[in-house]
Amino acid sequence: MLRTVRDLEVGGKWVLVRTDFNVPLQEGRVANDKRIRAALPTINYLIEQGAKAILASHLDRPKGRVVEELRLDPVARRLSELLDRSVSKLDDSVGPQVEAAVAEMAPGDIILLENLRFHEGEEQNDPQFAQALARLADLFVNDAFGTAHRRHASNCGVAQLLPAVAGLLMEREIEVLSRVRDDPEHPFVAIIGGKKAEDKIGVLFDLLSKVDIFLIGGGVAFTFLKVRGLNTGNSIVAEAMMKEAKEFVEEAYRRGATVLLPQDVRAAQRFSPEAEAVIVEVGKIPQGWMGLDIGPQTAREFRRRVREAGTILWTGPLGAFELPQFIEGTKAVAEAVAAAPGFTVIGGGETAEVIEELGLAERIDHVSTGGGACLHLLRGKELPAVEELQA
């Protein structure tokens, strides 16, 4: 049974909260505050209960060294605006100066520690770094679902040293995704896209026992099209994964699952904003050209399947959405998912970014804050940081 922040008496206590403020920065400002906003319910709950909230997060991958442009000052400023109260940002995450600042906190105060990954001990799950973090608090709340599949000092190490519970965001993620994994409404449709087949083949195999219909697009699809003997031009193909792709399709057939691949694509001579997009049938991509989006015929079929679904899981864009001429397929399917009567889940990552950019997030039942963690849970894999929170 998952313990949550509601199970602890937090009033007057120092509470270390692992958040996921790994947000994009642009010119010293937060470019997308979705992950910050997702943490607000837990932070507000703690403040309302009179706790002293010590927030900890990583940002990007500084690899154990201080990188000035990856400091969390812009995050603190945006968090202060969203909470409409002062958030004190410290210049480190552990050490005597941090401990002194924390000791002076009053109930209702909020401190944001510096980027955890400025210390090598964070990703190494170093016991000494975990102990240094644990010394700051009486209690630990893990609200960083996006890192739940990682075994790091700030989520696993600290949880072994302090009374540890899940935050409200973590609770919601696990509740919704566990329901989709264990008791989905059928037909269960999985939309699988993204750039690389290497990243998705394992996901496909693990979902076979649950999913009725697989809609495969993006760069992932071209490995499967190549397996069928079709010409894929210069499209992304994971040659090393072709055997696994073939085995997946064969196993899906044996289980009675449907696997749909693109019938047409938008192709171009190069990956460029200036490149001309031409719609062609799969297998007829001109020599030297590459497929960069699903075509309109494919989008229509995918939309039809989505409309008939009881549960929809989508992970990975269906084209090179970064370029305006190659977002049409992803956009068409996204609009269908937003309008679908079935239960809809977006598996975090780039798909969540696209849904947000298209203004459709409010029409999706659940947009996960953790791409890798979301897929781990749905695939039935262990989430180390969640295991530490079980009663």
Active site residue 34: no
Closest CA to 90 of 110, 60, 108, 106: 110
**Cα–Cα distance, 224 to 238 (Å, whole number):** 9
In the block, residue with structure tokens 């709950």: 45
Closest CA to 387 of 170, 206, 119: 170
| Active-site pick, 13, 18, 35, 150 | 35
Closest CA to 249 of 287, 294, 216, 280: 216
Active site residue 35: yes
Gyration radius from the chain CA atoms = 22
Active site residue 13: no
Q: Classify residue 378 as exposed, middle or buried by CB count within 10 Å of its CB (0-12, 13-18, 19+).
A: buried
Q: 149 and 376 in contact (C-beta within 8 Å)?
A: yes
Q: 173 and 369 in contact (C-beta within 8 Å)?
A: yes
Q: What is the dihedral angle through the alpha carbons of 198, 200, 202, 206, rounded to the nearest 10 degrees?
A: -170
| Active-site pick, 121, 319, 348, 349 | 349
What are the backbone dihedrals phi and psi of residue 101, each rounded to the nearest 5 degrees, phi first?
A: -65, -40
Buried-exposed string 189-204: b where 16+ CB fall within 10 A, e elsewhere: bbbbbbbebebbbebb
Active site residue 194: no
**Cα–Cα distance, 182 to 187 (Å, whole number):** 14
Q: In what order do the strands lie in the sheet with 366-367?
A: 258-260, 213-216, 188-192, 311-315, 343-346, 366-367
Cis amide leading into 184 (omega within 30) = no
Closest CA to 292 of 320, 321, 332: 320
- Cβ neighbours around 254 below 10 Å, total: 9
Residues with catalytic annotation? 35, 196, 349, 372
